[in-house]
Structure 1
């Protein structure tokens, strides 16, 4: 496995665009720390974003994993480009001639996906822990270590999404078209949601059905954190509104994403096995 990973990272390291995108991605993950520095005064009103509680434990695990998940598109571009380069440079054919089986080839790509997701998760964990230790009002270890399921959900979300991108890269063979297909699929899920809601079921039933679609199931792993913020809850109470949402990571949502991941990886292998390279 280490040999397969080494082959992939050598390819990525020798590609300038991949290096730029990967570096930009991790810089963006780090940039969330800059949010703590946002301060502005409007007359008597002084606003410091770090003081409203977004870096409090355990809320920080929820907030940071939700926000930084949007940056995953940078690595998605790397993954689809990685596959496009295999076809355009004919390195995939050369790898197979050199003795790499199609199964090992897909395994090497999946290991790269796992590595990207794992490094991203560990990196985010370190950044969030550091920010929390500096700015959180609660520093007891029992509180710090609670809600870590959001970190696991972040990892699973990246693995699922990157596996989808890998499948698209193999299916389409061109990075621009693969990314275009990704966008079209997102729009398609939105259209299906609208049709189901309009013609068939109520809102709750529609959400349950959409939870089985790939992109929506990945999104569902980490719900929006903004209404959970203490300041928002306080304002809602003052105006007589009740915000009672379930923000937890559910085991069945994780299983759905794991199932889609398995489907994408197996489909990638089946496509590669069927094609005459």
Structure 2
């Protein structure tokens, strides 16, 4: 494992695009967090987003993992580019000639995917912990370290998404086409859900049950939107006598579904590579 990781990070070390995109990903999240923590005036009114409770423990784990996941496309581009460069630079064939098996090649890419997911999760944990300790109204140990399952869900979500990107990179060999295919697949899933919901089943509950097994939808279900948990939203809903009840929990079966798709994508990548004449 260490040998394969060393080989891959040596390639990333000399990739300017990988460095830039990684910096953009981590930099953007840090910037968003900093902006949310700063007081500023808007049309004479003082606004401090942190006062809305977004940095309160344990809510911050949910909020930050959801927001960080929205930026995952930057790291996805790195993953896809890593695969496409293997084809365009002919390093894939050279690696196989040098003694690297096709299984080891796919495993090396998966180790990069897992490393990116883990590094991102640790980064979100550190940033969230710092922001929470500064701005949270609740700093008891028990409260601080509750709801950490959102970090696990975030890690599994990235692992599944990047594995999908790895599969697409192997499938189409070109980063632009792979990212385009990813966008088309997202539209395809949306159409399937819409057809099931409004034309075939005409039932939201059954549609939700079936759609949770779609790859992108299953990943999205791991960390659901946190905004309706905010006190200001709950208060407004109570005043309007509107029910905003929502299942925010991370369920074990949702984690299993995404891990299942992750295994399928890695197996699919290896199968494609084995069948191809390089």
TM bin, normalised by shorter chain, reads over 0.9
Query: What's the CA shift for 1:105?
Result: 0.5
SS at match of 1:46: strand
Counting only pairs closer than 5 Å after superposition, residues 1-277 of structure 1 correspond to structure 2 as 1-34=1-34, 35-43=36-44, 45-201=45-201, 202-277=203-278
Which stretch shifts more, 197-206 or 1-10?
Answer: 197-206
Q: Is the 8 A contact 1:39 1:49 kept in 2?
A: no
Paired residues in the alignment total 276
Tell me the TM-score normalized by structure 1.
0.97
Q: Once the 2 structures are TM-superposed, how far is the Cα of residue 37 of structure 1 from its aligned partner?
A: 1.1
Q: Secondary structure at the match of 2:71?
A: helix
Deviates more, 1:227-236 or 1:120-129: 227-236
The 2-side partners of 1:83 and 1:41 are apart by 46
Structure 2: gaps spanning 5 or more residues = none
Distance 1:276 1:40 in 2: 62
| CA offsets 1:8-60 (integer angstroms, 9 cap, x no match) | 011111111111111111112222322211532544x4321011100000000
* Conserved? CA contact 2:39–2:46, under 8 Å: no
- Shift, 1:242, TM fit: 2.3
Question: Matched residues in 1 for 2:16 and 2:103: separation?
Answer: 27
Contact 1:41–1:47 at 8 Å: present in 2 too? yes
Runs (4+) off by over 6 Å: none
CA distance in 2, matches of 1:40, 1:113: 41
- More divergent stretch after superposition (163-172 vs 241-250): 241-250
In structure 1, list runs of 5 or more residues that go unmatched: none
Counterpart-to-counterpart distance in 2, 1:178 and 1:208: 28
Aligned-residue offset at 1:89: 0.5
Deviates more, 1:113-122 or 1:197-206: 197-206
